[in-house]
Structure 1
Amino acid sequence: MLADAARAEAYRLSKNRIQIGLSVFLTPLLFVLGGLFLLWQARTQGGAAAAAMGLNPGSASAPLNLADTLIASADKGANGLMLVLMLVAAATLYAGDYRWETWRLISARNGRTSLLGGKLLVMTGLALAGMVVFQIAGLIVALAQAAMFERSITFDMSAGALGDLVLTWLLSWLRIVQYVMIALLTAVVSRSLLAALFVPWALGFVQTLLGQLGPAVFGWEPQGWTMHLLLPGHAYDALKTLVVPPAGPVPGPAPALWPALTSLVLWTLLPLLAALAWFRRQDLAKE
């Protein structure tokens, strides 16, 4: 039953080519165009432009390790534009049947848990596809950099680097899934496509402000439970820092693992469970 629902949702989504293009391909395309423009600037202007990109003349002939490129692309997979465009896809996927009043036609043919589960599987698969295309975009920019600056290409990935890649990739994918879970809950409760689109964005904006004001105004500790539990984006950044520490010294204590991990899991599971519980009791006779 779940497989049937997932196939049906995937088929419907496959007919919406504009939505697939926006959510899966637009962010990588802009990343490639922006990367090529910066590389062109660095090559034509040299000096400050090259240094700003970390392409100082002394390292221009150093080999370019594509393994590092994969890790860097995975680290940027859940960027702001990707989250927003995936949110558009999620709002359409989750609230489309309310908008077009088709729930009453399909709910008699499958269980409600399976119907909602099918949408979830398709959405998580869409996030997976978006991240894969973004990885390809990162490789394209890296290959263009190697060609422009005449750098040789290598692929040297140790076991530790492979673990970093897998964990960073999973974290970015989980961040996308967690973010669009708010759209699922909003769509089920409000039965509105616009609300499913606007509420997660507004919540994310408020959380960004709290992340900046919390330590200064409310005295929240960046490594404490309060800030992590209220701000899943902060928890995601903390987990990424633990997996791949930034270059150079980091001021302050190291990020806390368990508050960050607990926050990301709760912000993923609680909206899902609440949406499932609400949807199972919902009257769909007029939807």
Structure 2
Amino acid sequence: MLADALRSEAYRFARNRTTALWSIVFFPVVALVIGLFGQMFMKSKMVEIQGANLPPNLIAGGPLDLGQSLVSVATDMANPITLLFVLIGMATLYAGDYRWETWRLITARNSRLNLVLGKVGVAKLLTLVVLAVMLVCGMIGELGKAIIFARPLTFSMDSETAAKFFELVLLSYIRIVRVGLLGLLAAVMTRSLIATLFVPIVVSIAQAFAGNFIAFVGWTPQSWQPHLLLPNISYDVLKGAILHTPSLTAGGGDGVWPAVLGLLLWCAIPLVAAIAWFTQQDLSKE
């Protein structure tokens, strides 16, 4: 029955081409186009400043390592703009049945638990597709940079670099799913498509703002307390640990396990709360 819920939700979402376009394709393609134009503009300015007769190899730079480019692209896939556009699709997925008053038509055909988990499963698939499109567009941008600046291509990826790449992709995936689960909870509590879209954004902005003041209450990124309240700090600590960036881990990796726990709790609690609320909800008018 869960498989039926997954198939039906996936089919409905795939048929909603406008939502799929905005949540999956629009931002990666626009970012790619802007990036390529930016590279061409940069090259034209370099030639203009340094002289049109400058040898091309002085403008081009060294070889472009596509292995390192993969890591670079994976570093920023779960940025705030990506989250905003993915939430368009997730809001439609989670709150669409409230908006179009179709819950009473489908709850008779499956259990409420399966229906919610079906939506969450499709949201996770949506996240994977978005990350794949972001990665493809990012690598096309890197190839475009190599062509524009006439840089030779190389590819090197040892086990450490590969692990770093997959860990960054997994971290981006968890971040997007976590924010989407806040949208799920907002959907079942408010029955509003607009609230489902904007509540996760407002909460995320508030948490990011509050993260600037943890030092005033004596907390550090290595403490347990900020990770229980501010998952954005957990994300930054884990990202810093993966990239070996002291500025993001605030001087050490002792906060890794609190960060992992914080992210897991911020995924589990909204999901459990949404399921509990939804199973007791009156859907006679929905």
TM-score strictly above 0.5: yes
Residue 284 of structure 1 aligns to a residue whose secondary structure is coil
Greater Cα shift, 101-110 or 249-258: 249-258
Task: Give 1:279's aligned residue.
Answer: 278
Residue 252 of structure 2 aligns to a residue whose secondary structure is coil
Contact persistence 2:95–2:188 (CA under 8 A)? yes
Please tell me the residue identity of whatever aligns with 2:186: T
Task: Give 2:138's aligned residue.
Answer: 138
Q: How far, CA to CA, are the matches of 2:98 and 2:49 in structure 1? A: 50
Task: Give 1:188's aligned residue.
Answer: 188
Task: Give 1:254's aligned residue.
Answer: 252
| Deviations, residues 134-170 of structure 1 (Å, cap 9, x unaligned) | 0011111111111111111122111111111111100
C-alpha root-mean-square deviation of aligned residues, in Å?
Answer: 2.2
Residue 80, structure 1, aligned to residue 80, structure 2:
yes
Q: How far, CA to CA, are the matches of 1:86 and 1:65 in structure 2? A: 30
* 1:268 to partner: Cα distance: 0.5
Task: Give 2:54's aligned residue.
Answer: none
Please tell me the residue identity of whatever aligns with 2:284: A
Please tell me the residue identity of whatever aligns with 2:19: Q
Distance 1:223 1:60, change over 3 A: farther
Q: How far, CA to CA, are the matches of 2:201 and 2:49 in structure 1? A: 34
Please tell me the residue identity of whatever aligns with 2:225: T
Q: Counterparts in 2 of 1:1-287, with a 5 A limit?
A: 1-46=1-46, 60-215=60-215, 217-246=216-245, 252-255=250-253, 256-287=255-286
Q: How far, CA to CA, are the matches of 2:235 and 2:208 in structure 1? A: 13
Distance 1:251 1:277, change over 3 A: closer
| Deviations, residues 261-282 of structure 1 (Å, cap 9, x unaligned) | 1111100011011111111122
Residue 7 of structure 2 aligns to a residue whose secondary structure is helix
Contact persistence 1:41–1:49 (CA under 8 A)? no
* 1:65 to partner: Cα distance: 1.2
Q: How far, CA to CA, are the matches of 1:181 and 1:279 in structure 2? A: 14
Greater Cα shift, 98-107 or 227-236: 227-236
Contact persistence 2:104–2:284 (CA under 8 A)? yes
Greater Cα shift, 74-83 or 252-261: 252-261
Distance 1:172 1:48, change over 3 A: farther
* 1:96 to partner: Cα distance: 0.8
| Identity among equivalent pairs (%) | 41
Structure 2: gaps (5+ residues): 51-56
Distance 1:273 1:158, change over 3 A: same
* 1:177 to partner: Cα distance: 0.1
TM-score (structure 2 length as normaliser): 0.91
Contact persistence 2:74–2:168 (CA under 8 A)? yes
Residue 22 of structure 2 aligns to a residue whose secondary structure is helix
Contact persistence 2:66–2:155 (CA under 8 A)? yes
TM-score (structure 1 length as normaliser): 0.91
Contact persistence 2:237–2:248 (CA under 8 A)? no
Greater Cα shift, 162-171 or 276-285: 276-285
Please tell me the residue identity of whatever aligns with 2:263: L
Contact persistence 2:221–2:249 (CA under 8 A)? no
Please tell me the residue identity of whatever aligns with 1:279: F
Greater Cα shift, 188-197 or 220-229: 220-229
Task: Give 1:53's aligned residue.
Answer: none
Please tell me the residue identity of whatever aligns with 1:103: W
Distance 1:186 1:249, change over 3 A: closer
Distance 1:219 1:117, change over 3 A: same
Residue 239 of structure 1 aligns to a residue whose secondary structure is helix
Q: How far, CA to CA, are the matches of 1:250 and 1:277 in structure 2? A: 36
Contact persistence 1:104–1:286 (CA under 8 A)? yes
Please tell me the residue identity of whatever aligns with 1:285: S
